[in-house]
Amino acid sequence: MLPTEHLPALRFFYKPKRITQTELGRRIGKSQNFIYRVEAGLRKLEPEEWEEILRALQGKE
């Protein structure tokens, strides 16, 4: 099993806002599969990508 170090952190930011993987992906110009792969530990986020996600989540809830 691959490590899932990003799973709790990423979900912590978007789940309380009732945003789906699909919506989060749309907000950052990525697919739902991209978000899934990050959560599953299959794709590591670069610091710039974390910033992009956080900016997207600061918008309308």
Largest distance between two CA atoms of the chain: 36
SS3 content of the chain, % helix, strand, coil (to 5): 60, 0, 40
| Residue range 50-57: mean pLDDT, rounded | 90
Percent of the chain with pLDDT over 90: 36
Q: How far is CA 5 from CA 11, 39, 43, in A?
A: 11, 8, 10
Q: Domains of the chain by range and CATH? A: 7-57 (1.10.260.40)
Structure tokens at 23: 């919506």
Kindly report, residue by residue over 5-23, the tens digit of the pLDDT. Answer: 555 578 878 888 899 999 9
49 burial (CB, 10 Å; 0-12 / 13-18 / 19+) is middle
- Both tokens of 30, joined, read 């990525």
